[in-house]
Each structure stands twice: as C-alpha cells, then as structure tokens.
Amino acid sequence: MTTSSTSSAKAVAHTNIALIKYWGKKDSQLIVPYTSSLSLTLDKFYTETSVRFDPTLPDDIVKIDHQEVAGKSWQRVHDFLTIVRNLAGMKDHAEVISHNQVPIAAGLASSASAFAALAAAASKAAGLTLSSKDLSRLARRGSGSACRSIFGGFVEWRRGTNDLDSYAVPLKQSALNDVAIVALTVEKKHKAVSSREGMNRSVTTSPYYPTWVKVAQNDLSDLKVAINANDFTKFGNISELNAMRMHALTLSAAPDFMYFNGETLTAMNEVKRLRHDGIECYYTIDAGPNVKVLCQQANLDAIVSRFTKLLGQERVAVVHAGPGVHYL
C-alpha cells in the first residue's frame, strides 16, 4: 500500500445477496467466518458514502440519510475509522456522510454496501492506495458480507484462517448470465435479532452448527459447478436449500428465533406455486423477513405480475447483477 495527500473521497458500493450463506464467525473481532460463502452483487440497492478527514474535528461525525447518528451505530463506524487511521498512521477525525438506497437492517444486506463504500472512501481519503484484495480485507472488518461488495457479479468469500487470507474474489468463470432477482420487501423496520447476535447464538447453541459447516462447503462447491455449467435449475435448487439450512440454525438455537414473518411464508409458498404452474423460480432469504426470488428473464414478467397482485407494486423490485465498488 502507498499513501497520497487525499483528504476526502466519495465511493459507491452495491449490496449483495448471499446464495451460499455466511453465518457464524470463527473470530468475531477480525470477522473471520467458519465457512466460505458466495454472493451476487445487485444493481439497484447501493450506498453512497463520503469521508472527509479534518484535523480540527474533536471527534468523528457520522450522518446516515441526513440524520446524525450516535450510540452503537456511531461506535461501529468510529471503530472502523480507527482501523483505517491505524493503517494510514494518522489521528485525524472524520466526517462521514452516507446515503442508502436500501432499507437498513431488514435482511437486504445494507451493512454490506455500507461498509464496502465506507472502506473505499475512508481508505482513499486517508491517503491509502489498496489493492482489491486488501480493500476486501478492510471492508470485512466492518461487516463480513461487505468484503464481497467490493466486486461485481458472482463473488466468493474465501473463509481463510486469519486477517490476511480471509477475503473475497470475483468468480473468474461465470457462464450463468441470465439471472434476474425479484426483491420482495415485506418489512422495512429493524429486525429484533441482529445478524451478529443471531450468528453468535446459532454458533454457540445450535446442535446442528458443526453439520452446517460441512454442508455449506459442499453447497458452495456444487453452486460453482452449476454457475460454470449454466445450469439455472441446479443453481436455484442449491440456493434455496442453502438458505433454508441457514434458517434452520435460528430455529434450533437456544433461545430460538426466526427472521420470517407471515408475509415471508406467504411469499415462499407463492414461489412454490409458481414452480408448480411451470414458472421456474426459487427463493433465498438472508437474516431478515424479505424474500429474493431467483429467476430467468423469460419468466420475469409473470413473477412480477404475481407478486404485484399479492404485495403491491411498491414492494416489488427487479434487480440484476451489479458492479463492484467505484469512486465518484
């Protein structure tokens, strides 16, 4: 890494949907996971963040969607900025201004785009020039899934064993290009159990967690084969199954918890009805109630029509593969 005289920078990063889930940290401080994961970066959901280091500031200032934040949210950004400051050998505080085009804490991976954008903007503003690998490693320190949002398209997060070898890489071979996602927003409010708490509870109390570690790695290998073979049916089946295996951990934790609500289950059942009617699609769900429907372009209109009638137009969005992080 090298340094320059940059004192401010603005970056955009897009959220991603995990097709093979990341659920559980081997090292909670460094955010090194028990399993590797695989995601697709999305085009319509993103975070735009500017960072300005200023020696006259008495402390870090964080504004998200025009609101100055405090408490845990401020602390999380402050701690991340301290990592950047330590890398750059500086002590200046920063003003962070962030705008989200994705509901926060509702299972649409807002932290992925948020910390990927923050990592890119803060490192550049601090005068660091990082490789994509090192930028991914840095983003991981803020939010695990953020390491994948550094890249566009299909991305694999290699779990590694430590800070140096746990990072994301884009898939070099991706024959499966005809993938669309119908994002269903069934709830926008903050979830009751955060991803961090949910992971910790699952790891420490679910009797099935050791099996998850083994099965998730097999799912990842199989999904990569499906992507390279342009096998959408296999791709969809594996993605749906892996999501349910992750959520089984929340149900088997102590105390148990669930990210689904009634409309989540309704949407899942509707996907199954669509498949029964000959319209191929599959669902995946992260740590929240919102559902993402995986499909191909030929079936997109029929799926959008069905869910628009069920949920209303304002809660149905179509997204495709999106780009990696970039600067403004």
Q: What is the CATH number of the domain that holds 8?
A: 3.30.230.10
Quote the mean pLDDT of the chain. 94
> Do 130 and 232 share a domain, yes or no?
no
Strand partners, 39: 18, 155
> Does residue 229 fall inside a structural domain?
yes
Residue 328 covered by a domain:
no
Band of residue 108 on the pLDDT scale cut at 50, 70, 90 = low
Pick the last residue of a domain from 139, 174, 209: 174
Mean pLDDT, to the nearest integer, of 21-50? 96
pLDDT tens by residue, 168-183 = 999 987 789 999 999 9
Summarize pLDDT for 297-325 with one digit per residue, the tens.
Answer: 999 999 999 999 999 999 999 999 999 99
Of the three residues 174, 197, 220, the one that is the final residue of a domain is 174
Residue 151 sits in the same domain as residue 242: no
Residue 104 pLDDT level (bands cut at 50, 70, 90): low
Mean per-residue pLDDT, 215-232:
97
194: in domain? yes
Looking at 140, 157, 174, which one is the last position of a domain?
174
Residue 2: φ, ψ to 5°: -125, 170
Is 327 domain-assigned? no
Q: Are residues 95 and 52 in the same domain?
A: yes
pLDDT of residue 173: 74
| Residues 37-75 pLDDT 10s | 999 999 989 999 999 999 999 999 999 999 999 999 999
Q: Cα–Cα distance between 325 and 124 in angstroms, integer?
A: 12
Spatial separation of the C-alpha atoms in residues 107 and 172, rounded to whole Å: 28
Identify whether residues 197 and 295 lie together within a single domain. yes
Q: Tokens representing 108?
A: 């649409």
Same domain? For 203 and 103 the reply is no
C-alpha–C-alpha distance, residues 146 and 115, integer Å:
6
Q: Note whether 72 and 195 are same-domain residues.
A: no
**What percentage of the chain exceeds 90 in pLDDT?**
89
Question: Residue 127 is encoded by which pair of tokens?
Answer: 């005068």
Quick one: 54 and 164 in the same domain? yes
HEC readout, the chain: CEECCCCEEEEEEEEEEEEECCCCEEECCCCEECCCEEEEEEEEEEEEEEEEEECCCCCCEEEECCEECCHHHHHHHHHHHHHHHHHHCCCCEEEEEEEECCCCCCCCCHHHHHHHHHHHHHHHHCCEECCHHHHHHHHHHHCHHHHHHHCCCEEEEECCCCCCCCEEEECCCCCCCCCEEEEECCCCCCCCCCHHHHHHHHHHHCCCHHHHHHHHHHHHHHHHHHHHCCCHHHHHHHHHHHHHHHHHHHHCCCCCCCCCCHHHHHHHHHHHHHHHCCCCCEEECCCCCCEEEEECHHHHHHHHHHHHHHHCHHHEEEECECCCCEEC
- Backbone CA torsion sign across 184, 21, 296, 109: positive
Answer positive or negative: Cα dihedral of 196, 200, 203, 207: negative
Q: Which two tokens stand for residue 291?
A: 């559902």
Determine the structural domain holding residue 193 and report its residue range. Answer: 180-319
Q: Say if residue 160 is in the same domain as residue 209.
A: no
Cα 277 versus chain centre, distance: 31
Q: In degrees rounded to 5, what are phi and psi of residue 129?
A: -115, 105
- The answer to whether residue 325 is domain-embedded is no
